[in-house]
Amino acid sequence: MGLFWRRKKDDFVSLRLNEPAEARPETPAPPPPVEPPRETVVEPPRETRETVKEEPVPPTRSPFQSSVLGLNLSMEELQAQEAALEQEISARFRRAVAATRDSLSEKLDTVFTGRKQIDEELLDQLEEVLIAADIGVPTTLGILETVRRGIARKQINDLDALKLAIKTELLNILQASERQGVASETTVPEGIAPYVMMIVGVNGVGKTTTIGKLAQRIKAEGNDVLICAADTFRAAASDQLAIWAERTGVPLIQQKQGTDPAAVLFDSLKAAKARGSEVLIVDTAGRLHNKSNLMAELEKMKRVAAREVDGAPHETLLVVDAVTGQNGLEQARQFLKVAGVTGIVLTKLDGTAKGGIAVAIAKELNLPIRYAGIGEKVDDLVVFDPQQYVNSLFGN
Ligand SMILES: Nc1nc2c(ncn2[C@@H]2O[C@H](COP(=O)(O)OP(=O)(O)OP(=O)(O)O)[C@@H](O)[C@H]2O)c(=O)[nH]1
Ligand SMILES: [Mg+2]
């Protein structure tokens, strides 16, 4: 598991303490800070920063004092911390998909109980169960076709083998989607900054909430994060984002309602460069007067980003609300045409019994699910792990 966001290399940091002083290069003086456009920057409240400073520092045995990256901990302490965190996340993820699991396993039990062999009627019922879990018609038909081939080749002879085959097929679909044009922080050289993430999707799916969660996690791992409020269509959009920015202590660039979003993005990119920000997360509008406006706006923003930073936006995440199921999938297709989406954030997985939509998304949109939203709170975002998802659905 390890870091949530992995751009910083896992290399050892060399302090070169046992080299003669003259061999150590002089640390260059930091460049004078360039002031970003004052009126648009909302800094985290002073008290937040002061509180952090005043916290008692625990006794450490490292020159790093307390460190967000855990540099003050021994290897064993770090491993123990990581294992505990992994367990906690796994438990929370299982709770989030509990409704889907219960509904799926209840229906599978009804289909399997009292049967001794696999026949056409059983396969038809199985098809219904998978479609009911929102796995989608084309994806379900594909899974059943693979299963039928296995039966014909005598590779699947009993109900246990059948269950295992379905589970394996779901995992294969999710893992195959991970290999499709995944953009992630690990593929962009560290020298290119800021790493630009654009968050797109229709209104109400959870874009702003996801940005808050991402900003918090990426910052907590020692990165300098800036948020760009480019949803200038709704007056409340910027305010909602400002609440998240304040909550997470991440600065925000915003302008008044109606400003060209590409202009806000331009300012944000300039500010990010001036401040030396490592990551810029961009909120975008979910609705405009009409769909073609929205798509044209996204295209313009992408052009501006590419002009200012090499390869930007480096990642375009499409947020899909799991509760809207197949409808959400249809909306997503509209975005795929223009937005150059590189991955999916599947939100509100905790609010549905039809979490099978994850498989439909992976198969039908041919895109990896990078993150899953499992609640409304700031730490309710997990890196989506196909194995963990499939295991959680099948109760192991
Ligand atoms: N249960 C649950 N609720 C979520 C999750 N993510 C977002 N929400 C809720 O969904 C609602 C909409 O979230 P927003 O982040 O405002 O959605 P948005 O896409 O920014 O919406 P617009 O700005 O209107 O386009 C809020 O009430 C969030 O608390 C999640 O993972 N689980
Ligand atoms: Mg929003």
pLDDT at 37: 46
Q: What's the average pLDDT block by block, 10 residues per block, for the chain (396 residues)? A: 62 48 48 49 51 42 51 80 85 93 88 87 93 92 94 90 92 89 78 94 93 95 95 89 96 94 97 96 82 84 96 94 90 80 94 92 92 95 94 82
Question: What pLDDT is attached to residue 332?
Answer: 85
How far is Cα 215 from Cα 332, in angstroms, rounded to an integer?
23
Q: Is residue 350 lining ligand 1, measured as CB closer than 6 Å?
A: yes
204 lines ligand 1 (CB under 6 A): yes
pLDDT at res. 44: 59
Provide the pLDDT for residue 287.
74
pLDDT for position 336: 83
Q: What are phi and psi of 143, to 5 degrees?
A: -65, -45
pLDDT digits (tens, 9 = 90+) for 133-192: 999 999 999 999 999 999 999 989 888 899 899 999 999 999 998 887 567 788 888 889
Ligand 1 center to 150 CA (angstroms): 42
Residue 209 Cβ contacting ligand 1 at under 6 Å: yes
Of 97, 209, 369, best ligand 1 pocket probe by most atoms within 8 Å of the beta carbon? 209
**Atom from ligand 1 closest to the CA of residue 202:** 25
* Mean pLDDT (the chain, rounded): 83
What's the confidence (pLDDT) of residue 275?
96
Q: Is the CB of 355 under 6 A from ligand 1?
A: no
107 CA → ligand 1 middle, Å: 30
Number of Cα atoms under 13 Å in the Cβ half of residue 146: 17
Query: Which protein residue's CA is at the shortest distance from atom 17 of ligand 1?
Result: 206
Q: What is the pLDDT of residue 98?
A: 93
Within 13 Å and on the Cβ side, how many CA atoms surround 387? Answer: 1
> Two tokens at 237?
């959009």
**What ligand has the least distance to the C-alpha of 294?**
1
pLDDT at 284: 94
pLDDT of the residue at 53: 40
